[in-house]
Amino acid sequence: MRILHTSDWHIGRTFHGHSTLDALSAVLSTLVDQVRENAVDVVVVAGDVFDSAAPAAACYPVLTRTLASLVDGGARVVVTSGNHDSAARLGFQSALLRDEITIVTDPATVGTPITLADEHGPVHFYGIPYLEPAIVRHLWQGVELRSQAQTMAHAFDLVRADRAERGGRAVVAAHCFAAGVDSTPGVEREIRQGGLDVVPLPTFDGPDYVALGHIHGRQQLSDRVRYAGAPLHYSFGEAGKPRGSWLVDLDAQGLAAVTWLDLPVPRPLATLRAPLGDLLDDERFAAYEGHWVRAEYTDSTPQPDPMRRLQERFPRCATVAHLPAAARVDDGVGYAERVRAARNDSEVIDAFLAHVREGEGASEAERALIRDVLDARRVEEARS
């Protein structure tokens, strides 16, 4: 049996205020093509189908169109809900879909598989929706479920017990933060509290393959336990990380092979750091004019209207940060002391500029302009 492991579609998520629906639709269309080209039998989507519990109306057609296309391409589809999804809304959607599509959102079904078969016999697909300990502990009386780690351990105990009775091969889809992963700060909105909700790797023992979701970058925790990551880049911290899915082959004994399938990146991400003038004019940045750009300009003082000016060269400049190359040196002299020490109006202005610019006074060109203005003022005063 051939399985495609994907996750974290986050339908409806924006990128610095820009819609990603069109880009995601194009990437998911490529994923559908890969399912056809590789004769995939089952597609597993391991949570975070939507980006929010209340998706906008435009998000639903993206999901239904993609799921229908996967089935038309010859695959069965198993979807689980993640921490971003509303289990109720996603579960309601499942009743409207084809028989070849199963959406698992009910925690009470943990340990009850969707069983499919190939020439070697049955393969049991166990969907584990995101399990919030405080919400699901009433389902399993007498079991201590205070953390994500305890809750996931209990869910896998149920899976192992059921599989022991049924026999055959087993695949699990779950959504959690596993120990040993390399997450992107600020991207995976944490579903853990301190270290209590990090799920230890031995928790996943037993199944032939464990398809995990929640981490946006490709991760391999063992031959059998992997994250596919998100199909799009949703943060500049993800720049350069591959996008794609795992192609998993099972034979009569279990896991036979796992291959990575790349997905296209509709628009690359780049973080550019230089003085603003260089970002605006230097030819070495010409290659990034079509990228999503995070600009970090290193001028010692804030520059006027940097976003508008940068977007004239980089239309997809999404964020601008002022990060001076030289750190401010605090000489311990306050603004009032600087003003009192000034010997003339020009030095008073210089003291003010040094105060508001975090230590940098007037440049030579600014000093010349200040002198001209003060001289003109003196002439005007002398005439009056």
Render pLDDT for 219-269 as a digit per residue (tens, 0 to 9). 999 999 999 999 999 999 888 899 999 999 999 999 999 999 999 999 999
**345-356 and 364-383 are packed helices; what angle lies between their axes, rounded to 10 degrees?**
140
Residues 118 and 195 grouped into a single domain: yes
Does residue 329 belong to any structural domain of this protein? no
Please give the structure tokens belonging to residue 1. 């049996």
φ/ψ (deg, to 5) at 166: -80, -35
Whether 258 and 285 map to the same domain: the answer is: no
Alpha helices in 45-169 (DSSP H): 59-72, 87-94, 133-136, 148-166
Name the token pair of 16: 């610095």
As a whole number of angstroms, the distance between CA 128 and CA 47 comes to 9
Rounded CA-CA distance 173/359 in Å is 56
Q: Which residue range forms the structural domain that includes residue 48?
A: 2-262
Given a cut of 90, whether residue 73 has pLDDT beyond it is yes
Residues 280 and 257 in one domain: no
Query: Is the predicted pLDDT of residue 313 greater than 50, yes or no?
Result: yes
User: Looking at the predicted structure, is the pLDDT value of residue 193 above 50?
Assistant: no
Average pLDDT, the chain: 88
State how many domains the chain has.
Answer: 3
Q: What's the CA gap between 40 and 42, in Å, rounded?
A: 6
Would the pLDDT of 84 be above 60?
A: yes
Nearest-angstrom CA–CA distance, 384 and 380: 6
Q: Does residue 159 share a domain with residue 38?
A: yes
| 150 and 183 together in one domain | yes
In a domain, 330, yes or no: no
Mean pLDDT calculated for residue range 286-290: 96
pLDDT number for residue 363:
73
Beta bridge partners of 64: none
- Domain edge (last residue) among 297, 322, 347: 322
Structure tokens at 365: 């060109």
Asked if 68 and 190 sit in the same domain, the reply is: yes
Which of 245, 262, 279 is the C-terminal boundary of a domain?
262
What is the side-by-side order of every strand in the sheet holding 225-227? 114-118, 121-127, 169-175, 209-213, 225-227, 219-220
Same domain for 147 and 101, yes or no, is: yes
| Whether residue 242 sits in one domain with residue 189 | yes
Same domain, 237 and 315: no
Residue 138 lies in a domain: yes
Q: What is the pTM of this model?
A: 0.82
Share in percent of the chain as helix, strand, coil (round to 5) = 35, 25, 40
93 and 25 in a common domain: yes
Does 368 reside within a domain?
Answer: yes
